[in-house]
Amino acid sequence: MNDMRLTERAVDTNQLKITARDVQVFYGDNHAIKDVTVDIQDKTVTAFIGPSGCGKSTFLRCLNRMNDTIDICRVEGKILLDDEDIYDKRVDPVQLRAKVGMVFQKPNPFPKSIYDNVAYGPKIHGLARSKTELDEIVETSLRRAALWDEVKDRLTAPGTGLSGGQQQRLCIARAVATSPEVLLMDEPCSALDPIATAQVEELIDDLRSRFSVVIVTHSMQQAARVSQKTAFFHLGNLVEFDDTTKIFTNPEDPRTESYITGRIG
């Protein structure tokens, strides 16, 4: 574990963004998530780690109700975003997803130009009053995703023509453009090479200044590098949730220690 570089950045704020209480998720008869209780703070990077199939992605997808698109999936318990139950009947999942953006495991740019990819969210939600404003949003989002310099001369080129790392940053720019309050990232670097990964990680650290970021990752090094808080999932249970430094240096649960030292996983 010598290669693990722990970030000693202090958490800027202690304001809670998302509170999850006793969340259960069922896929048909399969009880995928059991009694998960977690507090996600604003302007913080929270990492979900754990072996494959432990439910971390499933739980992440509960936070913006992406699981609604799967017919057999059922969610119980309470998830509050700014003290508002997101599974309440009055909440419009579509509005919720605008507030809780998502970046997926595989880069999935739309079959549109780079410009239109980024402008997609703002156009749908009417965030820009004029073409100039939209141009500005696109530029800031691309800058924030550290992609502007690479694509500013070819904004009309198809987004699908970029390299893998560029595509993923385009997807991040696309998510950022809707000005979400929380950004969920589902293994955003698993399809990228080390250089692109480093770029995306740097980006995640930047994004922390504006929103709360939740990242699911298989790489413990990555969790250690980018997050302030880490949650360890195992077999659908949340085993341990604490400051990243604590989880990686002095875990309380023996299962966490085994996973981090590579004995289970």
Judged by the rule CB under 8 A, the positions of this chain that interact with another protein are 64, 66, 69, 71, 94-99, 101-104, 106, 108-112, 120-121, 124-125, 158, 160, 171, 174-175, 178
Residue closer to another protein by CB (options 113, 199) is: 113
Residue closer to another protein by CB (options 125, 218) is: 125
DSSP state of 145: T
Contact assessment for residue 224 and residue 4, using Cβ atoms and an 8 Å cutoff: yes
The sign one gets for the Cα dihedral 247, 251, 255, 260 is: positive
Least distance to another protein from the beta carbon of 136, Å?
18
Residue closer to another protein by CB (options 159, 251) is: 159
Report residue 19 as tokens: 């509170």
Least distance to another protein from the beta carbon of 184, Å?
8
Least distance to another protein from the beta carbon of 106, Å?
6
Contact assessment for residue 202 and residue 122, using Cβ atoms and an 8 Å cutoff: no
Contact assessment for residue 201 and residue 212, using Cβ atoms and an 8 Å cutoff: no
Least distance to another protein from the beta carbon of 2, Å?
37
Least distance to another protein from the beta carbon of 252, Å?
34
Residue closer to another protein by CB (options 106, 218) is: 106
Half-sphere exposure of 213 (CA within 13 A, CB side): 29
Checking 24-30 for CB contacts under 8 A at 24+ apart, the result is: 24/75, 24/76, 24/77, 25/55, 25/58, 25/59, 25/62, 25/67, 25/73, 25/74, 25/75, 25/76, 26/73, 26/74, 26/75, 26/76, 27/58, 27/70, 27/72, 27/73, 28/72
Residue closer to another protein by CB (options 174, 225) is: 174
Neighbours of 69 (CB within 10 A): 9
Residue closer to another protein by CB (options 96, 155) is: 96
Residue closer to another protein by CB (options 121, 236) is: 121
Q: How far is CA 1 from CA 52, 80, 163, 212, 227, in A?
A: 20, 36, 31, 27, 17
Least distance to another protein from the beta carbon of 158, Å?
5
CA 174 – CA 113 distance, rounded (Å): 12
Least distance to another protein from the beta carbon of 27, Å?
16
